[in-house]
Amino acid sequence: MRPICIIVPMTEVKISVPEHVTVIMDGNGRWAKLRGQERLYGHKEGVESVRACTEFAVEKGIKYLSVFAFSEENWDRPVEEIEGLMQLMLMAITKETPLFQKNGIRFRVIGDFSRLSDKLRGEIDDCMKLTEDNTNLQLIIFLSYSGKWDIVQAANKVVEKKLQAGEIPQVTAQELHANLSTADIPDPDLLIRTSGEQRISNYMLWQTAYTEYYFTEVLWPDFRKTEFQKALDAYAKRERRFGKV
């Protein structure tokens, strides 16, 4: 009796693509130093990595790409570097706004705006308003941001509302979450940190409770599409249980 050969049709394996990827962009200064340049040179090249990763995120169908551009603690850096970074941010927004419109990208900035210049705040507001109806991707820049600041300001909002309503000012997890600066944004599925450091540096402390972490030795100016794909490949192999079996 001949053996029966059963042909099973091949099915497409669906790769898990994260909805929200966030990046701690680290290593600009070291990248510049290795090339005998000033730190600002590394930050300028880092802008090119943001552009490349934004384009790749659109290609992959990622809906939210957020980047940690400047922390609250970074205000303690030398004045010259801070001024250079803020000028670079201003120039990048002005240059990229037409491309955001062309590619359907919504631009957002989250953080404590009180220490930003009026000119930069105006440029940010104009770009956010102009792109607010775009739906291909949300590019979110965390600028002058601190995870602790975010939690404290959310708690203060809840307490203030309850006091005004004559209620006991107790804060629930749901109320706190609803008053974070990211309340209308899904929590990150994947957090990438470049340059070999393995910490989150006071970044989205609440929101990353169940985020998958990916650390790479690659310095941020060298993190382009190939490296981004490696991070996505690693993510696709993860099993996310959120505390369940």
Catalytic residue flag (residue 26): yes
Please list, in sequence order, all residues whose beta carbon lies within 8 angstroms of the beta carbon of residue 187, skipping any fewer than 6 positions away.
20, 207, 208, 209, 210, 211
Please list, in sequence order, all residues whose beta carbon lies within 8 angstroms of the beta carbon of residue 146, skipping any fewer than 6 positions away.
71, 72, 73, 112, 202
> Which pair of structure tokens corresponds to residue 78?
């030398």
Active-site residue, from 28, 74, 133, 222: 74
Catalytic residue flag (residue 28): no
Q: Phi/psi at 215 (nearest 5 deg)? A: -110, 135
∠ at Cα 171 (167, 172), nearest 5°? Answer: 120
Please list, in sequence order, all residues whose beta carbon lies within 8 angstroms of the beta carbon of residue 106, skipping any fewer than 6 positions away.
100, 131, 132, 133, 134, 135, 137, 138, 139
> Which pair of structure tokens corresponds to residue 108?
């957002």
Tokens 């990229």 map to which residue?
A: 96
d(CA 30, CA 45): 12
Active-site residue, from 26, 150, 187, 189: 26
Active site residues: 26, 74
